[in-house]
Amino acid sequence: MYIKLDKNDKRTLWLQIVDQVIEYITNGQLSPGDPLVPSRQLAQELSISRSTVQIAYEELQSRGYVITSRRGGTRVCDIMPDNDTFPIEQAVPTIPPNPFLEEKKEGVEHWPEVNHKEIAEIDFRLHVPYIDPIFQKSWRRASNVAMKEENVFDWGYSSPYGLFSVREQISRYLAIERGIHVQPNQILLTLGARQTMDIIAQALLQEGDQVSVEDPGFPVAWSSMRYRNMKIEPIPVDNQGICVDQISPHTKMIFTTPSHQFPSGVLMTANRRQELIQFAKQNQTWIIEDDYDGEFRYRGGPMPSLYSQLPTNILYLLSFTKLLAPGIRLAAVIGPEEAISRMAKVQEFVCRHLPIMEQLALGQFFETGDLLRHVRRMRSIYHKRHRDVINTLTLSGLAERFHISGTESGLHVLLEGDEHFDEYKAVNEALKTGVGVFPLSPYCLESPRKGLLLGFAHLESAKIIEGIKRLACVLI
């Protein structure tokens, strides 16, 4: 083993020794078990201090290239780290099959079976709110204030429940806008509907439990539960809401969207609400009440929540995705203190706590009154756009061709056809005219219902009117 030191090299002397020994080993000039020159001898040969050589050998040992013993001196290890010179058969970890993750889910969040090179000039895409300049300015201001936050504790590890100040603001908001009166310890902040459903499954259910979901319904509800190996029971939805009489008494949890059923747009009637509440009482069943766009009702005030009638059995979901923007990944689940405590423990185990900056900005947005002003401004804007949708559907003749649902609230409408309606043909034909719409069937489990879904929140009135006119030319 010949070592050459260069005093002009920027590397230290001991590191030069390390690099050259490693090169000898990786090139095969030093084989496993070969001894290195004793440190004293190498120091004399190189005219350097023995401590420099010892540092080099210690570094080689720490990297796993050599091993040192009293009797054997320093020798090359039998197994080299990252050594390509001595190839061995690699044992690559296998990834077990996961039917859930490998399911084909086209059509729910992406265009189904269409030519992706075609661009929808007028895109009636669902789940997209209107992000107006006033909101952007207000949120930027709230974020800037949050960045200047001087309380160092708010920047450290925080409660898995979410920041107390934010939960306190949410409790006030719910009291004002929903008539729901809860304490901050009954509120858990999460990263959105998907994570919320997963936490609920882990905290309150056991593998194999039966969960009832609306059909058609919100795919996240059943996909999250399926992922946790729950048994899914699809329950039909009629013009009064979920059909309670078809729910099994053995079900442990019911997922419903009573204020604006997704995707049919139906409002659950007072009688059906009472049926559902009585069912939950009699069978000790949990109800997940997803109020995903309940702020936007255009006839009368917001619908009363199920939670306010049976707080012991209900988990109320409040998402800021539709209210503010999808990129603000914050939501809240409200429920009995014991259930929320269990869910907080799951969240702490999974991710410790939520990002601080988003929470501080949201808290500031609440505190200044910007959130209430934003909600009321959006309600006015969406009301006008919703009216344009309904009027244009009527004038175009589409209201005679299809049954129109979602005429009182929400950010989308459903054009429901008969069982022979070819959704995918309609989607493709509409796309050829520059109009993007969604089929209903991907939101169904067993339901044979067919139709088209039009999200309008992000579209200006002129585009809404033009898009529906083009759609009418294709469908009538």
pTM, two decimal places: 0.79
Q: What is the pLDDT of residue 26?
A: 87
The answer to whether the peptide bond before residue 263 is cis (omega within 30 degrees of 0) is yes
The answer to whether the peptide bond before residue 216 is cis (omega within 30 degrees of 0) is yes
State yes or no: pLDDT of 204 exceeds 70. yes
Residue 110 region by backbone torsions, left for phi larger than 0, else alpha for psi between -120 and 50, else beta = beta
Rounded-to-integer distance, Cα 170 and Cα 333, Å: 11
Can you tell me the mean pLDDT for 108-135?
73
400-449 pLDDT tens trace: 999 999 888 899 999 999 989 999 999 999 999 999 999 999 999 999 99
Burial grade of 414 (CB within 10 A; 0-12, 13-18, 19 or more)? buried
Identify the CA nearest to 258 among candidates 247, 245, 272, 248: 272
Between the two ends of the chain, the Cα-to-Cα distance in Å is 87
Rounded-to-integer distance, Cα 293 and Cα 180, Å: 16
Which residue do the tokens 């039998």 mark?
78
β-partners of residue 213 are: 234, 255
Q: What is the pLDDT of residue 81?
A: 58
Higher-pLDDT residue of 284, 78: 284
> And the tokens for 458?
């992000």
Which residue do the tokens 């044979």 mark?
448
Q: What is the mean pLDDT of the chain?
A: 88
Residue ranges of domains in the chain, CATH in brackets:
13-76 (1.10.10.10), 109-129+374-475 (3.90.1150.10), 150-368 (3.40.640.10)
Under the banding of pLDDT at 50, 70 and 90, the label for residue 73 is: confident
Can you tell me the mean pLDDT for 240-263?
96
Number of H helices, E strands in the chain: 16, 16
- Kindly state the helix (H) or strand (E) to which residue 358 belongs, with its residue range: helix 356-367
What residues have CB less than 8 Å from 302, skipping those under 6 apart?
A: 177, 178, 259, 294, 295
Neighbours of 443 (CB within 10 A): 24
3-state secondary structure of 266: coil
Helix, strand, coil % in the chain, rounded to nearest 5? 45, 15, 40
150-197 pLDDT tens trace: 665 566 778 899 999 999 999 999 998 888 999 999 999 999 888 999
Give the C-alpha distances (Å, rounded to integers) separating 261 from 50, 194, 292, 387. 79, 18, 9, 19
Exposure of 244 in the CB half-sphere (CA atoms within 13 A): 21
State yes or no: pLDDT of 70 exceeds 80. no
Rounded-to-integer distance, Cα 297 and Cα 66, Å: 73
